[in-house]
Amino acid sequence: MTDHRLQNSVRQRHSLHPEDIVTLVIDGQQLTADPNDTLLTIAQAHNIHIPTLCFLEGISAYGGCRVCLVEVEGYGKLVPACLTHPAEGIIVRTQSPRVIEYRKKIVELLLSERNHICSVCVTNGHCELQQLASTLGITHIRYPGLFPSLAIDASNTRFIHDPNRCVLCSRCVRVCAEIEGAHTWDIIHRGIKSRVSADLNQPWKEAVTCTGCGKCVQACPTGALSEQGKAVGEMLKKRYTESTT
Amino acid sequence: MTINTLQIATIWLDGCSGCHMSLLDMDEHLEKIAHLFDMVYSPLVDSTSLPASVDLILIEGAVSSEKDLEHLMNARKSAACLVALGDCAVTGNVPSMRNSFSLSDVLATSYQKDVSANPQIPTGFVPALLEHVTPLHAHVQVDHFLPGCPPPASAIFALLSHLLQGKQPDVSKLSRFGS
Ligand code: SF4
Ligand code: SF4
Ligand code: SF4
Ligand code: FES
């Protein structure tokens, strides 16, 4: 899916003249932009904050989490800012009541899908999902928890994979494939049964492609990937840029 | 007691009492609002029954047993305003970690596994556990949610002082899941 989207964006780039420039409005601000940029990067360049979760600077955009949804006047559907290129004259709203309500629902659904018990989580206090819930003003979850029974993989001597905290953002998959070049992780199964798995569903220690670099652990926005030996709240991710704050 | 004094109760369901401790952690700030309420029922005071009608009830803890559910239903009938205090009441939190397993497995693991002398599951004297642990709003309408494990004393103070003055509290910036 990522490859397909990459190809699309590459095709778009080649079909445009370099002097092309579009004008658009984001949250009332008149802006000019390169049509190859995304609504997210354009907004960021003008200090307009759009929350993200699956987006991570330096790896391909994926469009999986939908937290960055924005409203474009005349478009029936909300669109993900991290994957949408600007068309001439569009009017974008990043904070309309409809957008905010959808973002809240998405984050609440993510929290209800796995077992997020922040008070006993290694990333308590440093988690992008927890932070998102807080900045969106989510004080409770309107959906009943699914409470799946998911085994923790602590077979790797240095890292732990806890699918109870995973949001399937695929940042681990992309950083491992695109930056480390190992492609140890991928997503198996479909829909609600989807899981991140190492080397065709092996315990991590048996994943021969893994170089042990730890990039996946640092890229993961939640407590789903952590270093061994971290207690509650001790897992701080080492990153130069934060995409959600 | 002035005419405007509100009657407040607090209830402790399946929680660790940490939220009540955080309430007490308001320290001297309690004094600022103490004249605005009467604590009519709480694990912190002596009275043994919940009055039929109370202005405000703060509830700590998740709903884990039949007794918890009964207390919650009574509280809802009694309370003009009901607050879910802390993550256990708001999400189920730590008590809900048993939801990934069946109740019979949980009981067998707790009372029988590796027990050599007369292993047995209690059938009386303790309230029967429900199959799943749920937050308060799975059963009753909750008027305000204060997440946090526990919510910081400053957030409880902000919530209480708003409610006591008849204002709508917005505590979403003062506390979060996990805390
Ligand atoms: S991963 Fe984040 S949201 Fe989930 S339990 Fe841990 S701190 Fe909470
Ligand atoms: S530690 Fe292994 S799985 Fe993680 S990014 Fe590096 S190579 Fe990939
Ligand atoms: S393990 Fe972490 S990085 Fe990978 S999909 Fe899950 S939440 Fe995202
Ligand atoms: S869909 Fe845009 S950040 Fe996830």
Judge if the beta carbon of residue A63 lies within 6 A of ligand 4: yes
Fold of B6-97+131-173: Rossmann fold (3.40.50)
Burial class (CB within 10 angstroms; exposed 0-12, middle 13-18, buried 19+) of A33: buried
Which pLDDT score is estimated for A97?
A: 97
Q: What residues of chain B lie within 8 A of the CB of A134, using their CB?
A: 172-173, 176-177
The DSSP bridge pattern shows strands B6-12 and B37-41 to be parallel
Greater confidence, A86 or B123?
A86
CATH class of A3-9+16-95: alpha beta
Residues of chain A with CATH 3.10.20.740: 3-9+16-95
Which pLDDT score is estimated for B172?
A: 87
Fold of A120-227: Alpha-Beta Plaits (3.30.70)
Of A121, A131, A140, the CB nearest to B137: A140
Does B169 sit behind a cis peptide bond, omega within 30 degrees of 0 on the bond before it? no
Q: Give me ligand 4 centre to Cα A142, in Å.
A: 22
Judge if the beta carbon of residue A66 lies within 6 A of ligand 4: yes
How far apart CA A144 and CA B91 sit, in angstroms, is 9
Inspect the interface and report whether the beta carbons of B96 and A147 lie closer than 8 Å.
yes
Mutate to test the pocket of ligand 2, among A205, A208, A210, A218 (most ligand atoms within 8 A of CB): A210
Q: Give me ligand 4 centre to Cα B119, in Å.
A: 52
Of A119, A125, A130, the CB nearest to B93: A119
Inspect the interface and report whether the beta carbons of B178 and A115 lie closer than 8 Å.
no
Q: What residues of chain B lie within 8 A of the CB of A148, using their CB?
A: 100
Which pLDDT score is estimated for A241?
A: 54
Which pLDDT score is estimated for A239?
A: 79
Which ligand gives the minimal distance to the CA of A127?
1
Which pLDDT score is estimated for B2?
A: 47
The first and second tokens of residue B53, run together, are 């009608």
Indicate the domain borders of chain B: 6-97+131-173
Residue of A nearest to B139 (CA): A144
How far apart CA B103 and CA A133 sit, in angstroms, is 30
pLDDT at A117 over 90: yes
Mean pLDDT of A84-107: 97
Mean pLDDT of all residues in chain A?
A: 92
For chain B positions 127-166, those within 8 Å of chain A (CB to CB) are: 132, 134-135, 137-138, 142, 145-147, 149
Q: Give me ligand 2 centre to Cα A226, in Å.
A: 12
Q: What residues of chain B lie within 8 A of the CB of A144, using their CB?
A: 134, 138
The first and second tokens of residue B66, run together, are 């039949």
Of A111, A117, A144, the CB nearest to B97: A117
ipTM: 0.93
Cβ-Cβ contacts under 8 Å for B43 (sequence gap 6 or more)? B10, B12, B17, B20
Residue A1: pLDDT band (50, 70, 90) is very low
Q: Tokens 């790797």 belong to which residue? A: A156
What digits encode the pLDDT tens for the residues A128-141? Answer: 999 999 999 999 99
Residues of chain A with CATH 3.30.70.20: 120-227
Residue A244: pLDDT band (50, 70, 90) is very low
Which pLDDT score is estimated for B95?
A: 98
The radius of gyration of chain A's CA atoms, rounded to the nearest angstrom, is 19
Note whether A140 and A126 are within 8 A (CB).
no
Residue nearest to atom 4 of ligand 3 (CA): A172
Q: pLDDT 10s per residue in chain B (179 long)?
A: 445 799 999 999 999 999 999 999 999 999 999 999 999 999 999 998 999 999 999 999 999 999 999 999 999 999 999 999 999 999 999 999 999 999 999 999 999 999 999 899 988 889 999 999 999 999 999 999 999 999 999 999 999 999 999 999 988 889 999 98
What percentage of residues in chain A have a pLDDT greater than 70?
Answer: 90
pLDDT at A7 over 60: no
Judge if the beta carbon of residue A65 lies within 6 A of ligand 3: no
* Angle of the A128-135 helix axis to the A97-113 helix axis, nearest 10: 140
Q: Give the nearest ligand 3 atom to A187 CA.
A: 5
Mutate to test the pocket of ligand 4, among A52, A78, A169, A245 (most ligand atoms within 8 A of CB): A52
What percentage of residues in chain A have a pLDDT greater than 90?
Answer: 89
Q: Please report, for residues A215, A223, B52, the alpha-carbon distance to residue A121 in angstroms, rounded to integers and kept in the order given.
A: 20, 7, 40
Which pLDDT score is estimated for B141?
A: 98
What digits encode the pLDDT tens for the residues A127-173? Answer: 999 999 999 999 999 999 999 999 999 999 999 999 999 999 999 99
Residue of B nearest to A141 (CA): B91
What digits encode the pLDDT tens for the residues A230-243? Answer: 999 999 999 765 55
pTM: 0.92
Q: How far is B59 from chain A (nearest CA, A)?
A: 15
CA B31 to chain centre: 22
Cβ-Cβ contacts under 8 Å for A34 (sequence gap 6 or more)? A20, A21, A22
Alpha helices in B16-171 (DSSP H): 18-24, 29-34, 66-78, 87-91, 103-111, 153-164
Residue A18: pLDDT band (50, 70, 90) is low
HEC string of A199-231? CCCECHHHCCCCCCCCHHHHHCCCCCEEECCCC
CA B61 to chain centre: 4
Which ligand gives the minimal distance to the CA of A131?
1
Of B135, B142, B177, the CB nearest to A118: B177
Mean pLDDT of A61-74: 97
